[in-house]
Amino acid sequence: MEAATLLQLWALAALALGGTWTTLGGTQTTLPDHRISLETGTIFVHELERELFQAAFLSESEEEDGAVPITFRAQLRSHPDLPRWLRCAQRGPHRSAFLYGSATAAELGTHVIEVLASNRLTYETASQRLIISITPSPEGDPPYQAEFLVGNRDVEELLPAAAREQFVQALSDIWEHDELRIINITSALHRGGRVPLPIEGRKEGVYVSVGSHAAFSPCLLDASSEQSRFRCRLGQQPLASCYDTFTPQFVIRWCNLTLLRVLPTPTAPGPVWGPGVLEGSGDFQPPTESPPQDLLPSFLVTLLVPLAVAAVLCVVLGHLMCCRREGVAKRDLETSDIQLVHHSSIHGDTAELRSMARSRDVPRPLSTLPMFNVRTGQRTNPITHPMGGPPDGARDPLIPQQR
């Protein structure tokens, strides 16, 4: 009786828990698609705004500070993860997430990214599709590229547009040119860096790649010279006169400075982006009906042509095998008389010998008998007494028979 009561209580608890779980986590909201166009050779940053996804949730439950903990997850459509050129960064559930990366010529086309935001309090979810169209840059890759290591920032702190603009302005004074663009931003952890200690002010570091069509300034050339590399190996500061330009906002690790000269490479002409490319007008709708086609000529050609070829081959082969035979009369006419006389004489002698052999009435030679004794000429049984000798022991039975 007690077991039945416990089983009923367990079933009621399971039903109540299942109903609560369905109420909390069974709702999902889909936001409208967001279309983005970008060019190769430049940084792409898209902020996943918390307010937009928070407004999509049906419930109004919040924490004491008014911020709902939201976790973002992004993936390529029909794939378990993002493409290799794109990353998703979110420091915590109370902060915004960023999709960032730099597309190359190998990623031309349209990429559909599915973003899923989860409310960690009510288990609600909100999804949105980002349709990213990547086109080639008309200017191509910048020929002069430099990579800086910012030691006092995390990657999320350099992704906002204001921080990137501030970095470019500080770098333009060193480069002595205003036309600069950020090519890529990568966390030092993704380049083999170590996770910093949980101490105030310790940052993971960020690699920032910047390109320009203007040549490098003397300050950058001095900082990347061989003498500066030697001083870095000794633990000293490299030779450069532009250290104070970035401070105190950005602390540059000048020993990790890398300058790259990109030479233009001839490329084969690719597809021309014309009116055939869909813009923002919507998805392509293929025709639902196709015009009727007459397949009888194709069927007749496929069936009759091999039959006709086979018939011609049979006729040619039959003519060669049946109609091109020489015959005995033609062969005799083309053979000399001496050979014919010699051949006929051999046939005649052979026939005469055969007739004489058939007409002889003599005993059969002993050599043609199955077994015989050369001395006496007596025939013996080859099984019981081979060659007139003693009985063959191998023929005796293994068990003697009772008489």
The pLDDT assigned to 152 comes to 87
Longest dimension (CA), the chain: 137
The pLDDT assigned to 383 comes to 47
Q: Are 254 and 243 in contact (CB under 8 A)?
A: yes
pLDDT by 10s per residue, the chain, length 403: 455 555 555 555 544 444 444 344 456 788 899 999 999 989 999 999 888 888 888 766 555 555 788 999 999 998 999 999 999 999 888 888 999 999 988 889 999 999 999 988 888 889 999 999 999 988 888 899 999 999 888 999 999 999 999 999 988 888 888 889 999 999 999 888 888 877 777 888 999 999 998 899 888 888 888 888 898 888 888 877 776 677 778 888 888 889 988 877 665 666 666 665 555 556 667 777 777 888 889 999 999 999 999 999 999 998 888 877 767 777 778 788 888 888 888 988 888 888 887 776 666 665 555 555 556 656 555 544 444 445 544 445 555 555 5
Residue 67 to residues 61, 101, 119: CA-CA distances in angstroms? 10, 28, 11
Tell me: the pLDDT tens digits for 142-186? 899 999 999 888 999 999 999 999 999 988 888 888 889 999 999
The pLDDT assigned to 174 comes to 87
Pairwise CA distance, residues 276 & 9, whole Å:
65
Q: Are 359 and 352 in contact (CB under 8 A)?
A: no
Q: What is the number of other CB atoms lying within 10 angstroms of the CB of residue 38?
A: 18
The pLDDT assigned to 23 comes to 40
Pairwise CA distance, residues 341 & 349, whole Å:
12
Q: Are 341 and 330 in contact (CB under 8 A)?
A: no
- 365 preceded by a cis bond (ω within 30 of 0): no
Question: What are the structure tokens assigned to 138, written together?
Answer: 């008309």
Q: What Rg value do the Cα atoms of the chain yield, rounded?
A: 49
* Three-state helix/strand/coil letters over the chain: CHHHHHHHHHHHHHHHHHHHHHHHHCCEEECCCEEEEEECCCEEEEEECHHHHHHHCCCCCCCCCCCCCEEEEEEECCCCCCCCCEEEECCCCCCCEEEEEECCHHHCEEEEEEEEEEECCCCCEEEEEEEEEEECCCCCCCCEEEEEEECCCCHHHHCCHHHHHHHHHHHHHHHCCCCCEEEEEEEHHHHCCCCCCCCCCCCCCEEEEEEECCCCCHHHHHHCCHHHHHHHHCCCCCCCCCHHHCCCCCCECHHHCEEEECCCCCCCCCCCCCCCCCCCCCCCCCCCCCCCCCCHHHHHHHHHHHHHHHHHHHHHHHHHHHHCCCCHHHHHHHCCHHHHHHHHHHHHHHHHHHHHHHHCCCCCCHHHCCCCCCCCCCCCCCCCCHHHCCCCHHHCCCCCCCC
Backbone angles phi, psi at 43, to 5 degrees: -75, 140
Domains of the chain and any CATH numbers:
24-135 (2.60.40.10), 144-261 (no CATH)
Q: Letter for the amino acid at 25?
A: G
